[in-house]
Structures are given as C-alpha cells and as structure tokens.
Structure 1
Amino acid sequence: MDNNLKKTPLYETHLKYGAKMIDFAGFAMPVQYESILKEHEAVRKSAGLFDVSHMGELIIEGKDSEKFINYIISNNIAKISDNQAMYSPMCYANGTTVDDLLVYKFSNEKYMLVVNASNIDKDYNWIFENKSGYNIAVKNISNEVSELALQGPKAQEILQKTTEYNLDDMKYYHFDKINLAGVNCLISRTGYTGEDGFEIFLRNDYAQSMWEKILAVGEEFGIKPAGLGARDTLRFEAGLPLYGNELSDEITPLEAGLGSFVKFEKAFIGRDALFKQKQDGLKRKIVGFEMIENGIPRHGYDVCAQGEKIGYVTTGYLSPTLKKNIGMALISSKFANIGNEISIIIRNKPLKAIVTSKNFYKKNYKK
C-alpha cells in the first residue's frame, strides 16, 4: 500500500476489522472485510455500514447561493425546501459531466455539495472559476468531516437505537441535525445502494466511536461492515451511475439516461449543448445488458454488433442478488433498444448478450 495515500479517520479501524485496503481516488479505502458477496447480501437483507469519508463536502454561502448553484447544476434547486437534498449532474459548457453530486439545502443562503472523492479539487476549482459576479463564499470542508453510510432494510431500526429523534419522520432525500449516541451529526435519508438508509456526517474525532457504536447496536440484526466492492455491486444492480464509468468528462447526462435531472426551463452551464443534443437525437446511450453466453463482462470491454464495434462496457459483474452476468454499456443508439442482441468481447471472443433495462434490481426506498 502506497504510504502517500490519504487516510480517512477510520483507517486503523478498518485494519482492526480485517479489511483488504486498496487505492481509491488517492485514498486508502477498504474494498472488502469478510467478502464482497456477504457484505452485499447483508445490505440487501439486513444492513451494512460503509466508511464514505473520502467523499467531498463543499459549503456555498451568501445571498446569491441559490442563483449560483442553479447556474452550475442541471437540476432545479429552486424546487426544494430547507432540509431537503437533491441529486444533480454538473456540466461543462459542451454538456459533458464535471461530476454528479448531492445538494443539501440549509436555507436559500447556505448549501452543502457532496461530491465524488476523485473530483474534490476539480469541482472546487470549477466552482471557483465560475463564481465571479455572484455574492457567495465557497469553503472546502472535506478534511474536517467524516461520513458513514448505514444502508439496508434494518438501517432505521439500528440507527433508532442511538437516538431519541423519531427517524420515521425523516422522508427520503431529507436531512436534519440529530444527536446520535451523544454526538451532534447531520443525518440524511439518502444512499447509493438501492435500499433504504442514512448517511451520517460528523466531526472526524467522533467517527471511530460512532462506527463501533452502530456496529454494536446492529449486531443483533446481522449488520456487517461493508467495503467499496459491495458499494459498487449494490449501486450497479440498482442502475445508479458511477462517475468515471457511466458519467465522465466525455459522457453527457442525457447519454447516461439522466434526462430527468436536466431542467431546460432554466439557464445553466451546458444547457445549450445539451438542448442541441436532445434536439438532434442521441447518437449513443448507456444501456443495461444481460449475458446470454457464459462470461463476466468488465469495465472497458468492447461491445460489438453486426461485425462492428458499437461501444464499451462501463460496469459489469456477476450480480450477487440476481446470480446473472449483467452490465451497463455506452453504445450506439441504433442498437440500444431493449431486446436487441449485442456481443461483448471477453478474452478476444465475442459472447452474446441482450439489451435490457438498467434497473436490474427494484429499489426499496422509503417514500
């Protein structure tokens, strides 16, 4: 393990729990503890606890905050209330994606953006470059904040054991400041697994004790610490995009199937390019697929049809829940209809697959 990697406040705790550590976006992060499969199943059936402290948090404050955020993201932040969160892509002028992020609204004059670990500096610089003329201040608090994600059908029952706050009152994509086990935290009913769950933001010095506390109260429910491996298989089954796979500075939100998060009724960076792309019709799209012939598709594998290369696999796995070899791919739109046969090149051999919906697994969010 490279000694220059950044470490989250839970680094030593992960080693104590027997985690296998990897380099992820410049951080030493746990990819698995017991096994990806067992951690994946725990989240689908009970609960898993993830360290996601590598994610970035940027605070935007000032009287033009709402106006500015609406200018840099494609979704419409004016549509949400205080203590509500919203998902959105953030685009370059050419319509491709700087990042996809969550916006937490404290008030019209204060927001928090939760951004991908690999993009913290890039996002901060992009925001800084575009803020002239707006009365706002931008602060990167990523190094001061830890984030835990408790996910799964038993997540509420487990977390309820640490607080007097009635978690039943918290709606999906809402958040509140809550005292958990004697620690002031920001809790949101959000996540990245397709299951109900919570994300917990707290000061670094409390991260370790909170991790231990949640695992202790969750033990009777079958909770497991879960690593980035299960996080990826879970989000993938639920059809959720990962930056660097289904979204990038070469892929637009429309190509990724995220058109519902692009609001053309307002001005934002990339609007004109995306509007033109929509008018002209998409030349390529992210699709789901299932292997017909036996082989596991992997990120970067070529996709072919009618003897020509038509795209590449963005994510592929043997799905732990469905026990099928499935994937997502960015392919030419003319081959993107559900039911179309395509080939995935696995070890230099074309293996048959069929285009499906990207939603392999039905999400179980609390509405």
Structure 2
Amino acid sequence: MELLQPGESQATRLHTPKGDVEGVVTCVTPWHFRISVPEDKAALAATWLRDLSDGYVAFDPDPLRRLPGPIVVSDSEAQPVTQATGVPESHLKPYYIGIGSTTDLEPLPAFTWEEREPEQLRRTPLFETHRQMGAKMIPFAGWEMPVWYTSVTEEHLATRQAAGLFDVAHMGVYQAEGPDAGVFLDSVCGNDISALAVGESCYTHFLDPDANVIDDTIVYRRDQDKYLIVVNAANDDKDWAWLNAVRDGKVRIDSQRPWARAFGRRVILRNLRDPKEGPDMRVDIALQGPKSRDILLALGCDAETRKRVLALKRTELCEATIGGFDLVVSRTGYTGEKMAFELFVHPERAVDLWNALLKVGEPMGLKPCGLGARDSLRTEAGLPLYGHELAGPFNLGVGEAGFGSFVKTYKPWFIGREAFLAREKQRQTVVVRFRFTEKGVRMAHLGDPVLDRKGRTIGFVTSCAIDSEGFLTGQAWVDLKYAEEGTPLYIFQGKPQSLGKSPAELKTGDRLLLPTPAVVLSRFPR
C-alpha cells in the first residue's frame, strides 16, 4: 500500500477476529487512504479499524505490540471500485496483522561493512581557525580535530560553569524527506519516531536484525515530512550505506523473514554535508553550558525569534535567524548540561558563526573546547560513546548500556525488535558510572578489569576521565548485582601483565600491584 501514488488503487485484505474482509485500498493523498469493502462488511471493517487506532483490542499474540496512532477513521461516500478476490498476502512486508510464517522467496544478504583508513585526514570548515587559535590537533575518526586549546580541565570547568564552544562539524548530518520519512525512520530506529511533533527530537539507535548496535543517533523533526538525523563521525560512511541499503531493499532486515523489505521505501535521503545539497547544507556547532542561551541571544535577533528560543525545552528545536545566521537551533548536546544548544549552520558560515559566538561569549566566560573536554563531560554525565559503552570490544547492546528505555518495543516492528527482546530477557550485565575514591590515581582505560571486594572479576572499564571536582570518574560494564549506587569496586588500571612476586617470595620492602578502590555512582548525575 505504501507504494501507491495518489489516485492509484490495489486489492487488499483486513484480518479481523470475525473473519477476513476483502476490499480495495485507494491512495487519496500520502496521508489519506480510502478502503472500499462490501456493504455487509462495512460496519465490521470500520469498527475494527477504529478499535485498532484507539488501542482497545488485542491483535497479536505478542501483548507488547500496539499500532501507531491514533488515526481518524471515518465513513465515506460509496465509490465505484472493482471487487477484490483472492488477494495474495504481501510476503515482502516485515509485519502486518495476520502475517504468515514462511515463504520460499530468496533471502537478502546480510549487511557487511569493512572499515577503511582514509587516505588523508578530513578537515572541518573550522580547521584553519583551530590552528590560528593554537589548538592541539589530533587524528580522530578520520578527521583532524582539536583535542584542547588550553587544558581539558579548564575547558571542562568552563562548560560546567559558563559555556563551551565545540566544533562538531565532523558529525554526519542527513535529512529524510517525504511522506514516508517517518515510517522509514520508525523501521530503522528503536525509538518512536512517529511520536515526535514538529520541533521535537529524540535519542535513538540503529540496530541490525540481531540487535547489534550499528550506531546511536539523534533524530530531529524539522517539519511534517522532514527529519534531521545526526550520526557519529566514526560511523558516518557506514550509516549512510546502511540506510540506503535498507531503503533500496538490498540487505537483510529481519532474521525471521530474511526476504522482507522495510517500510517507507519511498523516503528521500539526503546527506547535508554533501556540496551538491547547496543552500540546504548543514554542519553542527555545539554551544553548551548554563550561559549558552544568553550567549546565543547576544548575537541579536527579532522579538519573535527571541521568544521562540526562550520557549525551547530540552530536546526541542526551531528554525531561526540569529545574528544574521540561518540556523536550526536545537536544545540538545553531548555534555549533560541542561542548558545547551546544537546549531546547524551552512558550512560556509561556520567560521563566521564560531567567531561571532566567541566575541559575544568571552565576556561571559565562553571558551573554545576540544575533544578532550567533550569526552570528559560526556563521561561525567554518564553518556555513551560508540565503541565503548555501545558495541566495541564487548559488543554492548542498548540494554547493557543502560538505555533500554529508548527502545520502544510496543512498536509492532522495527529492525532488531525480536532479537532485542530476547537479549534483554537473558541480560545479566549493565554499564554503571563509578568514581575513584581518591584523587591523583592513574587513569583507567577501556578494558581494564573491575573486581569486587573478594577479588572476583565482575566486569571491565569502558570509559574514564577527570570530573568537575578533580576525581577520575568513569563507566564500567559489570554484573547487574554490582550496579547499585554505593557498591565498592576495585580497578586494575592499565591491565597489568603481572602483579609482582608471589606471596611466598615477598620480602620486606617488596611491592605488589593492588587494584585502586572506586565506588558506583548514580547512573546519571543528579
């Protein structure tokens, strides 16, 4: 049905508890469809559709499932249609009410991706600006990026106490457009994209059919049929290949129905960092911290724009012209700050916006910040990093990372749904936030062993960084029973190959390497 153009019709079938109803479905507009059924079945069909929309009836053995909606179901004047008979089931659909079990269609190949080292490092529009400002530049995810300007601690504290300015123009920025955009994104995302109103955003994940994390992302609804998707720089090329392969029906999206195609295949996907997108191009600059809104508005704007920006709640966005810059202004970020913004600007205006923000913001305490502070801020805030708290050497899933509530299993179908439910049913581990109990200890790194008070290995460190109070704070993947706040942990930093002599060989003055004590914190700062 989703492939119908306005004015086109096709035979269809409704599976109801009172028997099947044959009919014809006609696309009036992309948001308006007419179903024509025999007169003696009209009341049954209308009642069934209304009850499904209102969520009043069970329609699947899986009680978690409910249909998107509500939708408006109204009676229509009779239209001349051809009676449908012998309607075949749509084997290519991954899900519908009354879905069959098997067919002999050719299975699609699994998605594969081979990481390739770039021939040369890429640079954001702000590269020369960073060099002129004396930033320490390092390779990161195929890009040459600033790691700090002064020090990680100074930039971290500036963000917590005033504001920090971050170049995140290396992040992938896509746009999904058209009447099928929301339906497609609900196929490829675990969160409920259809629940977003215009001007809202949500954190979500791309999962493969086995519920492995392809990437985590934020989806922003710009308009009725226009969504921004921002992805990790390290996964940009992979994500773009995945989304296009799913849309084009070239990869397996369902293990139980390996021939199935995703919903929303007419979606238009655009890479907004591609120069061919011209005036629609966008890159991301992040302005984070308690004074970030004051700094943004100090650029100048009209009264109506100021009112809209002041009204933005967390995760909300609006289109705005501020300081002469055409922006998408979103109250989101990767630092854990309650007052924080991501500003999507044309790459040709990125340097001007960066400089303008620094000029008005420096008197308020704004500082440019590099990747070091970005990592320490997100670690302190308990936010995940792909390759550490998601996927990575331990292949951590969304549930293990502590973000299972962002996967909406009431959606009837999305890629990885069944595997996610199975994985959650048997999951015995989770990521916790911890802090070393003393200052001045050695940094912990990804993979460092975590022990309980009896010396048993219960997990591994995933991230660690300096926090606002000068302690080392991190995240670790541990057994569930050690996740309670206040639980003592012991960590061997650096994964030592040897702890020293055996106890029988010890003499006065000898040293043994001991694990460093830490304690489990609340999953997110209060």
Give yes or no for TM over 0.5.
Answer: yes
Check the 8 A contact 2:218/2:230 in 1, yes or no: yes
Q: Which amino acid aligns with 1:318?
A: I
1 CA distance for matches of 2:161 and 2:519? 29
1 CA distance for matches of 2:461 and 2:147? 21
Tell me whether 1:284 sits opposite 2:449 in the alignment: no
- 1:257 aligns with 402
- 2:82 aligns with none
**Equivalent of 1:88, from 167, 179, 204?**
204
1 CA distance for matches of 2:473 and 2:124? 32
Give the Å deviation of 1:58.
1.2
Tell me whether 1:79 sits opposite 2:195 in the alignment: yes
Q: Tell me the TM-score normalised to structure 1 length.
A: 0.93
Q: 1:299 to 1:279 in 2, by over 3 A?
A: closer
- 1:365 aligns with none
Give the Å deviation of 1:356.
2.4
Q: Map residues 145-160 of structure 1 onto 2, 5 A cutoff.
A: 145-160=282-297
Unaligned runs of 5+ in 1: 363-367
Q: 1:214 to 1:291 in 2, by over 3 A?
A: same
DSSP 3-state at the match of 2:283: strand
- 2:414 aligns with 268
Q: 1:60 to 1:233 in 2, by over 3 A?
A: same
Check the 8 A contact 1:74/1:90 in 2, yes or no: yes
DSSP 3-state at the match of 1:276: helix
Check the 8 A contact 2:222/2:318 in 1, yes or no: no
Tell me whether 1:216 sits opposite 2:359 in the alignment: yes
DSSP 3-state at the match of 2:405: helix
- 1:310 aligns with 458
Unaligned runs of 5+ in 2: 1-117, 250-260, 275-280, 497-512
1 CA distance for matches of 2:119 and 2:195? 45
- 1:228 aligns with 371
DSSP 3-state at the match of 1:287: strand
DSSP 3-state at the match of 2:492: strand
Give the Å deviation of 1:3.
8.5
DSSP 3-state at the match of 2:241: helix
- 2:313 aligns with 171
Check the 8 A contact 1:87/1:103 in 2, yes or no: yes
Q: Which amino acid aligns with 2:288?
A: Q
Q: Which amino acid aligns with 1:296?
A: M
Q: Which amino acid aligns with 2:521?
A: T
Overall identity of the aligned pairs, in %? 39
Check the 8 A contact 1:65/1:108 in 2, yes or no: no
**Equivalent of 1:188, from 317, 330, 337?**
330
Q: 1:223 to 1:3 in 2, by over 3 A?
A: farther
DSSP 3-state at the match of 2:294: helix
Give the Å deviation of 1:171.
2.1
2 CA distance for matches of 1:156 and 1:11? 25
2 CA distance for matches of 1:50 and 1:12? 15
Tell me whether 1:120 sits opposite 2:257 in the alignment: no
Check the 8 A contact 1:55/1:142 in 2, yes or no: no
Specify which structure has the bigger relative contact order, considering alpha-carbon pairs within 8 angstroms and separated by 6 or more residues: 1
1 CA distance for matches of 2:234 and 2:282? 16
**Equivalent of 2:444, from 280, 297, 300?**
297
Tell me whether 1:46 sits opposite 2:211 in the alignment: no
Give the Å deviation of 1:194.
1.6
Q: Map residues 98-113 of structure 1 onto 2, 5 A cutoff.
A: 98-113=214-229
State how many pairs are aligned.
Answer: 358
Give the Å deviation of 1:115.
0.5
DSSP 3-state at the match of 1:7: coil
Check the 8 A contact 2:207/2:215 in 1, yes or no: yes
Structure 1 or 2, whichever has the larger Rg, is: 2
Higher deviation after alignment, 327-336 or 96-105? 327-336
Check the 8 A contact 1:9/1:146 in 2, yes or no: no
Give the Å deviation of 1:234.
0.9
2 CA distance for matches of 1:353 and 1:197? 30
- 1:135 aligns with 266
Higher deviation after alignment, 217-226 or 242-251? 242-251
- 2:88 aligns with none
Give the Å deviation of 1:22.
0.7
**Equivalent of 2:388, from 242, 245, 250?**
245
1 CA distance for matches of 2:517 and 2:295? 44
**Equivalent of 2:520, from 333, 355, 361?**
355
**RMSD between aligned residues:** 1.8
Q: Which amino acid aligns with 1:322?
A: E
Q: Which amino acid aligns with 1:226?
A: C
Q: 1:264 to 1:14 in 2, by over 3 A?
A: same
More strand by percentage: 1
